[in-house]
A and B are shown apart, each in its own frame.
Chain A
Amino acid sequence: MPDAFDVIVIGGGVNGTGIARDAALRGMRTLLLEKEDFGVGASGNSSGMIHGGLRYLLSDIHTTKKSCLDSGYIQRIAPHLLFRIPLLFPILAGGLRARIQVELVEAFLAAYDHFAPLKNGKPHCRLTAAQALTLEPGLRPDLAAVLTFDEWGIDPYRLCVANATAAREAGAEVRNHSEVVDLLRMGRAVVGVRTRERLTGRTEELQARRVVNAAGPWLPRVAGIAGAEVRIRPGKGVHLVVDRRISNVGVVAEAIDGRQIFILPYDNGALIGTTDDDYYGDPDDLTVTEDEVEYLLQGVEHLLPRIRRHRICATTAGLRPTLYAWGANEDALSRDHEVVDHEKKDGVPGLVTVAGGKLAAYRLMAEEAVDLLARALGFSRPCTTGSAPLPGAEEAFDPAAAAQATGLPAYTLARMHHRHGARAHAIVELIVAHPHWGRTVCETEPVTEAEVRYVVRKEWARTVADIARRTRLGLGPCQGSDCALRAAEILAAELHAGPAEARRFAADFLAERWKSQAAVLRGAQLAQAEIARAAHFGVVGLQGRNDSHRTH
């Protein structure tokens, strides 16, 4: 057996990757294990906002402050990952009540303005209905006033991969598609893990002085292996992906039960979200229901009456690992985070769990967890994760110059820069060396062949879905219609696999996309699904029609 690690981190979401980065930067010998791919749990399926936590201003103010503070740190260490989302908060006309509500909301936002400098936010302003309609003509006109505020959006998968890359560059070992199937014990203590590689079946035993359970929705399952108890209230959250960017501003709406929901500009589309419901099912098998879709559309329709004309091309679903409390409604639960030392809590030495939290404050939770580890293991280097740039943020990158060098449109390079920061230089070098790798694989973003090869070679992408999470390939209106097979063949080439395997890679990705469309098959999307299935399965037979066994 190899030498023991100082820390093994279980879970490759934003918390796990953040902890691995911090631990590695402080000199700990670190291993990060993610059972599927970075961000597939709560992180990747979140609303993708470095959320100031406006909602918690009254109920949970230190969450708001922590989130805003840490938003500021994230901006410093990875500015290329962030994009500003201006949001409208419309108040429906309705006599005196409405006018009072306008004042109340404005006061609320004015208080929130105090936190704005922490996250480089702009102060709120008040717009008349007419002014708001010029920004968003789809709004219903009978508005008392519209207030504005802003938040930062971020690609959560890119954030996880950036942290994982930073961890590797600081000396950590990082594995995805690697499931922890058991914890190694010595008496009551946890001394390591047994892993199983999902793509090869190979198992391995690895020792560590400390094991960190950052498994998000799977926290109780992992802790349970050690006989330690971790209680969370998994909160299911669903989003709808609109096929085009219908607005450049977000709109805050109210659902039928009074919850705040929103529609946001996101990539080349729009995101509608979200729900929050206690979930008792299998975290590995989340499905979106038509009820949830109807709930969100109905709420947005209240302010944007023509929303149903647009095509919803996909959905996302994730589970928040919210801290447990009995008796509170899902929305009212605390979004604070907790670092649990199981030696103190359950008499199980060697195991630490991180629970709860918000995307925006991941770095802070990681710092607290690694402080605990550092004290226990005798590491004294200070935490630098708030100032050390994440991969891609170390230097500048000029999309216009790169466009000249590659002959590709500047927009393509700008999007590449958004995802990779200055690491886009490496992708540009690939294109300069192999000009045909500049061809577009997915039109929606657009994504070049060079970028696909780069994420396979450098960012642990082993399936088309992995590639999609890193590049946004196939996640927009196309849902993989042309790019699934193209990307699958590039992946097969990089992995030295043959055409039958390439078809299987493509079929697997299309199955994931299908799952995300099941609840939104209506109108134009249903016709699109009919054509796409006819193409992939009727004509081409990707399900394995020509092969000796069907993959479907």
Chain B
Amino acid sequence: MVDVAVIGGGMAGAAAAVAARRAGASVALVRVGIGATALASGAIDLADTLPPGGHPRPLADALRATLECRPAHPLGRIAGGDADGIVSAYRDAVEVVRAPLALTGDPAGCGALLTAAGTWHPGGVFVAGHGPGTEAALDGSRFHVVTLDLTPDFVPERITAALDTGLPRFGGRPAEPATCSLGETVRLGAPPRALPAVLARLFDDPAFAEGFAAHCAERVRRFRPTHVVFPPVLGLTRARENLALLEKALGARCFEALSPPPSVPGFRLQAALDAALAAAGVEVREGRARFAGAGLAVEGAAGAGELPARAVVLATGKFVGGGLARNGSVRETVYGLPVCADGEPLPDRTLERYLTRRPGERQPLLAAGVRVDAELRPLDRNGQVARPGLFAAGAVLDGVDFAADLGGLGLALLTGAQAGRTAAREARP
């Protein structure tokens, strides 16, 4: 019998598994396929620290704003809903994965990351290799944007416009205008288009990467930039090495813009989480978890069999991850737990009134999930703990609409680490 079984291998599940191991528990993790984490942009955010039109605000303020307008948000379960307590818990959670994910920055900070679409995304803590981040000294910076012929969606004009409008607000203090220059597009090859992941494999070849760095150096040096922005394709396994190579060759800080899902940085993040699981000694079983009265079992060719466990963390994700599914009604797919939208049980059918007109606004149907108590234990229809020894974390929780409110991977990390620790305590009192 294993102390803690974790269902789901994304950020929430991996954080739970590693946190439980650190607390001394034996851990088995069951996963099938990939979910939202692998398909994500790679950005790790907990709340919107870049409110529209204004200046960046500290995480505690952003959390207070979230809790005020989203009373059913699971953040309310952490540290009794106290913003400073949540920040503290978030710092602890970030430590669980900081090294394996190569995270940099301050979890409570309010830095900003450039996206390939020419917008800014909150980035307090982030995977090293994105930027510009929480750097204060952006005064007088000279930015240069490198474009590749095989990434036509990485449009330099978008990036320069974003730098023009964004840097004064996010640069920490009023900045001299940073200049942005564009070299001619670096031509990589014959096919007219390449998927980013395919392109990234090219960059995993050290010889190719070195040639690319030399080529860039020739073209970029004369602009004497302080920062150089690249499309997020600089390798699946060797991205950090390649960025170091480029920084040396160009004599400037180099970073990749964030791209919308699915993205190469997302794949890398998932790979880093997988490595963290292996390093922590978590037993990983490939297959679908099934709960059948008596206990957990795993279906699937590789990892089939029973999985007796003293405590379970459900980190199966929302609709992308498959933790929730809707045919007529919305079901939680492993335990059949009741599904709520903002604390209210969802009816069986006709869920049109759980949607609003503009997709960028909050959509209660897409925030739906499992309701939990202060220890992240799922609740039944009467508000009682549904099953002893069961915990839930990540997107499967009720009350989170990432698209409208942010709080994707950051929330998965926070609730995952919390649930993993509590589950370990429960399994080994």
- In the complex, which residues of chain A have a beta carbon less than 8 angstroms from the beta carbon of B40? 534
Cβ of B166 under 8 Å from chain A: yes
Whole-angstrom distance between the alpha carbons of A247 and B349 in the complex?
30
- In the complex, which residues of chain B have a beta carbon less than 8 angstroms from the beta carbon of A548? 52-53
- Smallest CB–CB gap between B290 and chain A, Å? 20
30 pairs from A and B in contact (CB 8 Å cutoff): A291-B350, A439-B193, A485-B117, A499-B118, A499-B161, A499-B162, A511-B357, A514-B357, A514-B358, A521-B326, A527-B322, A529-B366, A530-B319, A531-B36, A531-B320, A535-B260, A536-B260, A537-B359, A537-B360, A539-B117, A540-B121, A540-B260, A541-B115, A543-B358, A544-B360, A546-B166, A548-B53, A550-B360, A552-B360, A552-B361
Cβ of A545 under 8 Å from chain B: yes
Chain A residue nearest in CB terms to B395: A530
Whole-angstrom distance between the alpha carbons of A536 and B162 in the complex?
16
Whole-angstrom distance between the alpha carbons of A549 and B51 in the complex?
10
Cβ of A170 under 8 Å from chain B: no
Q: Which among A482, A529, A547 is the interface contact of B153 at CB below 8 angstroms?
A: A482
**Among B41, B117, B158, which residue has the most Cβ atoms of chain A within 10 A?**
B117
Chain A 391-410: CB-based contact to B (< 8 A → 1; otherwise 0): 00000000000000000000
Q: Is A439 in contact with B153, judged by CB distance below 8 angstroms?
A: no
Known A-B contacts A511-B358, A546-B52; A533 and B117 likewise in contact (beta carbons under 8 Å)? no
Chain B 184-210: CB-based contact to A (< 8 A → 1; otherwise 0): 000000001100000000000000000
Q: Is B50 in contact with A540, judged by CB distance below 8 angstroms?
A: no
- In the complex, which residues of chain A have a beta carbon less than 8 angstroms from the beta carbon of B365? 521
- Smallest CB–CB gap between A534 and chain B, Å? 5
- Smallest CB–CB gap between A357 and chain B, Å? 32
B-side residues, CB < 8 A to A, are 36, 39-41, 43, 48, 50, 52-53, 115, 117-121, 152-153, 155, 157-158, 161-162, 165-166, 192-193, 258-262, 318-320, 322, 325-328, 349-352, 355, 357-361, 363, 365-366, 402-404, 406, 408
Interface of A is mostly: helix
Cβ of A507 under 8 Å from chain B: yes
Q: A537-B404, A541-B120 are in contact. List 10 more A-B contacts (CB 8 A).
A: A439-B193, A489-B155, A499-B158, A515-B357, A535-B261, A539-B259, A540-B260, A543-B360, A545-B119, A552-B358
Interface residues contributed by chain A, number (CB under 8 Å): 50
Q: Is B258 in contact with A539, judged by CB distance below 8 angstroms?
A: yes
Whole-angstrom distance between the alpha carbons of A539 and B45 in the complex?
10
- In the complex, which residues of chain B have a beta carbon less than 8 angstroms from the beta carbon of A291? 350
Q: Is A533 in contact with B261, judged by CB distance below 8 angstroms?
A: no
Cβ of A209 under 8 Å from chain B: no
Whole-angstrom distance between the alpha carbons of A290 and B50 in the complex?
37
Q: Is A540 in contact with B359, judged by CB distance below 8 angstroms?
A: no
Q: Is A539 in contact with B41, judged by CB distance below 8 angstroms?
A: yes
State the total of A-B contacts with C-beta under 8 angstroms: 148
Interface of B is mostly: loop
Q: Is B326 in contact with A545, judged by CB distance below 8 angstroms?
A: no
- Smallest CB–CB gap between A471 and chain B, Å? 18
Q: Which among A486, A514, A541 is the interface contact of B359 at CB below 8 angstroms?
A: A514
Cβ of A538 under 8 Å from chain B: yes
Chain B residue nearest in CB terms to A499: B161
Whole-angstrom distance between the alpha carbons of A514 and B161 in the complex?
28
Whole-angstrom distance between the alpha carbons of A263 and B115 in the complex?
41
Q: Is B359 in contact with A538, judged by CB distance below 8 angstroms?
A: no
Q: Which among A440, A510, A518, A549 is the interface contact of B355 at CB below 8 angstroms?
A: A518
Q: Which among A439, A522, A539 is the interface contact of B115 at CB below 8 angstroms?
A: A539
Cβ of A378 under 8 Å from chain B: no
Cβ of A314 under 8 Å from chain B: no
Known A-B contacts A526-B319, A530-B318; A539 and B326 likewise in contact (beta carbons under 8 Å)? no
Cβ of A201 under 8 Å from chain B: no
Q: Is B43 in contact with A539, judged by CB distance below 8 angstroms?
A: yes
Cβ of A542 under 8 Å from chain B: yes
Q: Which among A439, A499, A542, A545 is the interface contact of B52 at CB below 8 angstroms?
A: A545
Whole-angstrom distance between the alpha carbons of A456 and B216 in the complex?
37
Q: Is A536 in contact with B193, judged by CB distance below 8 angstroms?
A: no
Chain A residue nearest in CB terms to B54: A548
Chain B residue nearest in CB terms to A486: B153
Known A-B contacts A535-B261, A536-B359; A546 and B319 likewise in contact (beta carbons under 8 Å)? no
Q: Is A546 in contact with B119, judged by CB distance below 8 angstroms?
A: yes
- Smallest CB–CB gap between A481 and chain B, Å? 9
Known A-B contacts A523-B325, A533-B359; A538 and B403 likewise in contact (beta carbons under 8 Å)? yes
Chain A residue nearest in CB terms to B360: A543
Whole-angstrom distance between the alpha carbons of A55 and B189 in the complex?
57
- Smallest CB–CB gap between B129 and chain A, Å? 16
- In the complex, which residues of chain B have a beta carbon less than 8 angstroms from the beta carbon of A546? 50, 52, 119-120, 162, 165-166
Known A-B contacts A514-B359, A526-B326, A548-B52; A534 and B408 likewise in contact (beta carbons under 8 Å)? yes
Whole-angstrom distance between the alpha carbons of A522 and B52 in the complex?
32
Whole-angstrom distance between the alpha carbons of A68 and B363 in the complex?
47
**Among B52, B260, B322, which residue has the most Cβ atoms of chain A within 10 A?**
B260
Chain B residue nearest in CB terms to A515: B357
Whole-angstrom distance between the alpha carbons of A539 and B166 in the complex?
16
Q: Which among A513, A518, A534 is the interface contact of B36 at CB below 8 angstroms?
A: A534
Cβ of A281 under 8 Å from chain B: no
Q: Is A522 in contact with B327, judged by CB distance below 8 angstroms?
A: yes
Q: Which among B36, B161, B355 is the interface contact of A521 at CB below 8 angstroms?
A: B355
- Smallest CB–CB gap between B58 and chain A, Å? 18
- In the complex, which residues of chain A have a beta carbon less than 8 angstroms from the beta carbon of B363? 533
Whole-angstrom distance between the alpha carbons of A550 and B404 in the complex?
12
Known A-B contacts A540-B115, A544-B52; A289 and B352 likewise in contact (beta carbons under 8 Å)? yes
Q: Is A545 in contact with B158, judged by CB distance below 8 angstroms?
A: no
Cβ of A233 under 8 Å from chain B: no
- Smallest CB–CB gap between B348 and chain A, Å? 12
- Return the 9 tightest CB-CB contacts between A and B, nearest first: A543-B360, A535-B260, A533-B403, A552-B360, A548-B53, A514-B359, A537-B403, A527-B319, A537-B360
Q: Is A550 in contact with B158, judged by CB distance below 8 angstroms?
A: no
Q: Which among B52, B318, B326 is the interface contact of A547 at CB below 8 angstroms?
A: B52
Q: Is A530 in contact with B359, judged by CB distance below 8 angstroms?
A: no
Whole-angstrom distance between the alpha carbons of A441 and B318 in the complex?
30
Whole-angstrom distance between the alpha carbons of A511 and B360 in the complex?
8
Chain B residue nearest in CB terms to A408: B192
Whole-angstrom distance between the alpha carbons of A510 and B52 in the complex?
20
